[in-house]
Amino acid sequence: MNILKFSDLDLCAIGISEIPPNEEGYDEILFIDKSMRYYKKCIIKDDKLVGAIMIGDKSEFVEFKRLIENSIELSERRMQLLRSGKKSDPVVGKLVCSCNQVGVGNLKKMIEGGCSSLNDLCQSSGAGLGCGSCKPEIQKLLNDSLVPMTVSASSKQVL
């Protein structure tokens, strides 16, 4: 997996980027919108996503990574691969994960909603699922947010 960050353009590649020469059973799905500077290529083998390239919009990166890593059959989802991307939640607060555009406020909201482990928080928010360099910051935020809850819960028991 590769994620390149330019000031005005996102480029992500995950899995294989080209159909292997002389191989059968592969399909390639392309979506190009030149005016929006958007390009998406999905490579499918045996009804499973095995590779993708996204330029201009990486909002589906986490979903594609999950489909590839877990070898999930696409079935009716195959047609959804051509959607032009979904609008993600706006970044709230300081940017923590630049790969998936997740801010401190977004993470705190998920912690308040019940995410209590690094894995849960990353899976729910998409943060940390790209290059992973933000995971220590996410873990610190999680620890700092959970400590007051633990202290207040234990202090109530002491009283």
Mean pLDDT highest for which of 7-16, 44-53, 86-95, 139-148?
44-53
Name the band, by pLDDT with cuts 50, 70 and 90, for residue 123: confident
* Residues 12 and 77 occupy one common structural domain: yes
* Residues 9 and 71 occupy one common structural domain: yes
Question: What's residue 2's pLDDT?
Answer: 67
Strands lying side by side in the sheet with 38-45:
2-6, 9-15, 48-55, 38-45, 26-33
102, 125 Cβ separation under 8 angstroms = yes
The reply to whether 125 falls in a domain is yes
Distance between CA 147 and CA 152 in Å, rounded? Answer: 9
The residue-averaged pLDDT of 81-107 equals: 77
Its pTM surpasses 0.85? no
The residue-averaged pLDDT of 68-76 equals: 86
19, 42 Cβ separation under 8 angstroms = no
Percent of the chain, pLDDT > 90? 31
Q: Is the pLDDT of residue 141 over 50?
A: yes
Name the band, by pLDDT with cuts 50, 70 and 90, for residue 9: confident
The residue-averaged pLDDT of 113-141 equals: 87
* Residues 77 and 102 occupy one common structural domain: no
pLDDT in tens, 37-70: 888 999 999 999 999 998 887 778 888 888 899 9
Distance between CA 97 and CA 143 in Å, rounded? Answer: 17
Question: What's residue 149's pLDDT?
Answer: 52
* Residues 144 and 118 occupy one common structural domain: yes
Task: Give the chain's domain count.
Answer: 2
Question: What's residue 159's pLDDT?
Answer: 42
Question: What's residue 83's pLDDT?
Answer: 63
The reply to whether 59 falls in a domain is yes
* Residues 17 and 44 occupy one common structural domain: yes
In CATH, what number is assigned to the domain containing residue 99?
1.10.10.1100
152-157 long-range contacts, CB within 8 A, separation 24+? none
The reply to whether 20 falls in a domain is yes
Q: Residue 137's domain spans which residues?
A: 95-151
The reply to whether 158 falls in a domain is no
